[in-house]
Amino acid sequence: MPYDNVSRVCPGARRVAGHQTRSKLHAVRAVPLNSREASYFEESNWSDWRWQAQHSATNLQALDNALTLTDAERIGASRAMAAGLPISITPYYLGLCDPVDPDCPIRRQCIPRAEEAIAVKGDLRDPLGEEAHEVAPHLIQRYPDRVLLVATDRCGVYCRFCTRSRLVGDGGGARSMAALRPAFEWIEAHPEIHDVIVSGGDPCVMSTERLARLLRRLRGIDHVDYVRLATRAPVTLPQRITEELCHAIRESHDATWVMTHFNHPKELTDEARAACARMADAGLPVMNQTVLLRGVNDDPHTLEALFRGLVRSRVRPYYLLQMDPVGGTGHLRTPLRRGIELMAALQGRVSGIALPKLIVDTPGGLGKVPIGPNYLVSEDGGVTVLETFRGDLVEYYDPPEL
């Protein structure tokens, strides 16, 4: 059964997910080159994650040299330089941008736009109520058995839909172990905490030794059963995911799960898939949380290509997240109904291992709510009528009461 109600199809999405072109070639085309800068693109430099971080595009001039910007992008970049969520895009990720198409799904994720100044009903500065749920400095508790530790404010790329745009890039950088001591002590004093999410910012842009120390500190807390490492480095800075880093993570806390954030099949480059392979080969389970974004991945063909590509890369699609209502992101958010339509289109067409849950993280920090199509048609006298993904109606009979 073909997909219907498809509003936007990503050209070449299936091809990109299955047989990757080399993103470096795109980067050489897109990033400005002159005689002084040409040597930067030697293989040894390109593969160095520190070089990538140091040569990130952080201002309008860098973007203007790399891309044919629209007026809306110029305005957005000028405003971002003055206030709010700053600009930072690694050469690698900037190289994935189509240099002339403003509707490129990578550009929409990382290039500021004038629409960021538009406020819409429901916009929130802190959509998940994290400040109200901070139980110790840099430590957030919204569920009884888990906490989130904000380890740094820095990322390889500042995504324009970031739920923590209020604090990322604030100049604080990686939090020192001394600054995190109250958070560790709070966790130690609360044996009901079994799960710690290490987030930011992106903890993988910290030094390997700093991240390892943090994980070892958590390993020393007996009731913490596992740690989740939330990172977009495999997507935006895959050079960072070295064998050294992967083994350091595994050795520092062997119950670490990596939670990454691929949003489009174009992000599944050779480099990104190799980074995922290094994590999997090191024994690190990798899960993916895709954010549903208008004009990026809000059609079933793109999502199917993404989810299949992730499974091929040994990454389990975990959540499809309704985008948080962060101020200035209304142009990127989809209606709730669209996510439900997309899940209905994918159900039965995509293996269960490749199909994530559709989740809304409720405003105010009250917790995540799974939503999706309703396949239960009616219930009467122990007989339930179900609708299959093909639209067939089937009766299911409950067993007699004993």
Catalytic annotation present for 298: no
Considering 155, 204, 246, 276, which one is annotated as catalytic? 155
How far is the C-alpha of 183 from the C-alpha of 101, rounded, in Å? 45
H helical segments located in 4-145: 13-18, 23-30, 43-46, 49-54, 60-66, 71-82, 91-94, 105-110
What's the pLDDT score for residue 42?
A: 57
* Distance set, CA 365 to CA 64, 105, 163, 193, 214 (Å): 38, 29, 12, 18, 26
Where are the chain's structural domains?
A: 13-117, 372-402
Q: What's the pLDDT score for residue 2?
A: 55
Tokens of 307: 């989810």
Residues 164, 175, 228, 308: which is the catalytic one? Answer: 164
Residue 155 annotated as catalytic: yes
What pLDDT is stored for residue 30 in this prediction? 37
Q: 159, 204, 246, 276: which one is catalytic?
A: 159
Catalytic residue selected from 146, 210, 314, 316: 146
Residue 146 bears catalytic tag: yes
The DSSP code for 37 is T
Catalytic status, residue 121:
no
CB 138 within 8 A of CB 150: yes
Catalytic entry in 162, 204, 246, 276: 162
Give pLDDT < 50 ranges for the chain.
1, 5-40
**Residue 110 bears catalytic tag:** no
- How many CA atoms are closer than 13 Å to the CA of 47, on its beta-carbon side? 8
> Cis (ω within 30 of 0) for the bond into 201?
yes
143 labelled catalytic: yes
Amino acid present at 401: E
79 is catalytic: no
Catalytic residue among 142, 228, 278, 294: 142
Residues 92 and 55 sit within 8 Å (Cβ to Cβ)? no
Residues in contact with 227: Cβ distance below 8 Å, sequence separation at least 6, in sequence order: 195, 196, 197, 198, 215, 218, 253, 255, 256, 257
- pLDDT confidence of residue 171: 74
* Token reading at 379: 């219930």
Q: How many residues does the chain have?
A: 402
Query: Which of 3, 14, 123, 143 is flagged as catalytic?
Result: 143
Q: Which helix (H) or strand (E) holds 226?
A: strand 226-230
Map tokens 């990503």 to a residue.
Answer: 10
Q: Is 159 one of the catalytic residues?
A: yes
Residues 291 and 262 sit within 8 Å (Cβ to Cβ) = no
What residues have CB less than 8 Å from 401, skipping those under 6 apart?
none
Contacting residues for 319 by C-beta, under 8 A, at least 6 apart = 288, 289, 290, 356, 357, 358, 359
* pTM, two decimal places: 0.89
Query: What is the residue type of 48?
Result: D
